[in-house]
Chain A
């Protein structure tokens, strides 16, 4: 019996991470949901208790859905949600289009190169996320490397507006999220038997047909995993749009941040976060249920 087979250790191996998630993810989440039903107040904490003492001196329920009603009434929030989902969706698609050929090429590369190529993909992770995004600021700003190079070459007369555009957001998002798309795709494609593609060719399929009818369906779980890993955090992304788009691109992460820190409206911010969670979680759970059922 190896140590991992002993029932006590097994329970600990499964139980400890769950305990961690319970204490540091699930309980804070419940806290946020709870705060979202309160109202802002000046003081510590900056929100009203759900159970409070009213004017008649009785303990009574003081919570309410006013924050949700406010989110529904102000079109700014709907716009921010939609824009976030749109930007995340385009980011996911771009990342997929770039990562799939990359993963395919790495899998097909000679064995001894594969590890080096994967390390190259992961290399940016060795630098702080914030520094990587700041680096793009330096590259994209009006007197940055790209504009000054193009000017020196005489391609352009005046600096292009690169920073503070949607283009800059896509660039930064795809750059930062690419490995999350690439790794699940690589893991899946790596297990794909080359002979299946060869069999398809042998049976009369052109290389394009073999790709769509054999390679894509068999790498589907990798595609789904990669898309979720990119799409979900991209919707709520705050740092990249904040640094690369300024005030020009409206995203829900930025809205949340300004409600929380600028307006110090914790309850409204919590409600925005709760709605975002529902907007993301419900379709993802439904989608995953369906794809795991079709895989079975």
Chain B
């Protein structure tokens, strides 16, 4: 549906987008994820037509739209600030785009009604934007975009202004909308939960480049770089030196057994282990990787899980999360053993 080839865009001396190539399939839900300033919003604006790339090509639905102005592109962008027209009612806002398509009379009314019904805002059609809550404004902005029946819906940080409960509800609604509409979604977010719950694929961006594109699961379990591992979820990352079948990590005071991905012995690398893959126990554990005589420094209770910050003999702090159950919990100062299987270890470039 969308094909981006080597897109570059600089503002002054800063390369906001620095050679991005990306294909987005019809009906795909893609999340552009990254810290602020990584170029994800600029890339979205290139797609919408608000920025003309310095180099590269943008294809949408088989047509080269690189230099097509925004009002002639088959995409619609939902702005982070929603950008509702304050001098128009909800219904007039939604009708605005449809009128540009030449719709009038009963057909126009019906399409506005349908779009508003889809986001359950049909009862507030005559309100003005300033009479709506943040969540309601977001729905109107969404209705205004989907009323146009675009081939691709672009969403710029759609959840940024919503509280947590509303955020979760909106995520589910976006997913069901996507099923019903059968169009592609590209969402820009800095929230990994958005990406994990909704996206078919996640494109992680850093300094204007895409550093990894894969399913959320793969990005989480097989991060391509140190940055991805630390940005997408939490990770224990230790520097070390590659050896045969293991990585020697001075901070752990131990070697870490590794299944795959090792470079030649002697090369500096880093290893990453997700906190929930580490087993914590008062008894002596056995397995691929075991650390004895670790001391719990801090306990963070989070409801479903508890995070333990554990100091190991090599003096590193290891982050461990454990599902809360009735049986066992640990307290500060407890001496414990930690263990994790070799397949939980990801080798990263140093």
Contacts and interface: CB of A to CB of B under 8 A. Distances in A.
Say whether A and B bind each other: yes
A276 interface: no
B83 A199 contact: yes
Contact of A214 (B69, B79, B85, B100): B85
B69 A201 contact: yes
Counting chain B residues whose Cβ lies within 8 A of the other chain, the interface size class is 20 to 34
B87 A218 contact: yes
B301 interface: no
Interface string A147-166: 00000000000000000000
Interface in A38-93: none
Contacts of A205: 71, 96, 100
B209 interface: no
A115 interface: no
A213 B71 CA distance: 14
A199 B85 contact: yes
Contact of B100 (A195, A196, A209, A218): A209
A295 B101 CA distance: 28
B48 interface: yes
B77 interface: yes
Contacts of B69: 201, 207
B50 A198 contact: yes
A89 to B, nearest CB: 26
Given A193-B81, A198-B70, A198-B79, A203 B87 contact: no
Contacts of B76: 202-203
- Secondary structure at the B interface, as helix, strand, loop or mixed, is loop
B48 A202 contact: yes
A195 B72 CA distance: 17
Contacts of B71: 201-207
Interface in A185-216: 193, 195-196, 198-207, 209, 213-214
Contact of A202 (B77, B84, B85): B77
Contact of A204 (B79, B85, B87, B148): B148
B83 A195 contact: yes
A214 B49 CA distance: 19
Nearest to A220: B87
Most chain B CB inside 10 Å of its own CB: which residue of A199, A201, A213, A217: A199
B40 interface: no
Nearest to A295: B87
Contacts of B144: 203
A200 B87 contact: no
Nearest to A195: B83
Interface of B: 48-50, 69-72, 76-77, 79, 81, 83-87, 96-97, 100-101, 144, 148
Given A204-B101, A218-B87, 17 more contacts: A193-B83, A196-B85, A198-B70, A198-B77, A199-B79, A199-B83, A200-B96, A201-B70, A202-B49, A202-B50, A202-B71, A203-B148, A204-B71, A204-B97, A204-B148, A205-B96, A214-B85
27 contacts: A195-B81, A195-B83, A198-B70, A199-B79, A199-B83, A199-B84, A199-B85, A200-B85, A200-B96, A201-B50, A202-B48, A202-B50, A202-B71, A202-B76, A203-B71, A203-B96, A203-B100, A203-B148, A204-B71, A204-B101, A204-B148, A205-B100, A206-B71, A207-B69, A207-B71, A217-B87, A218-B87
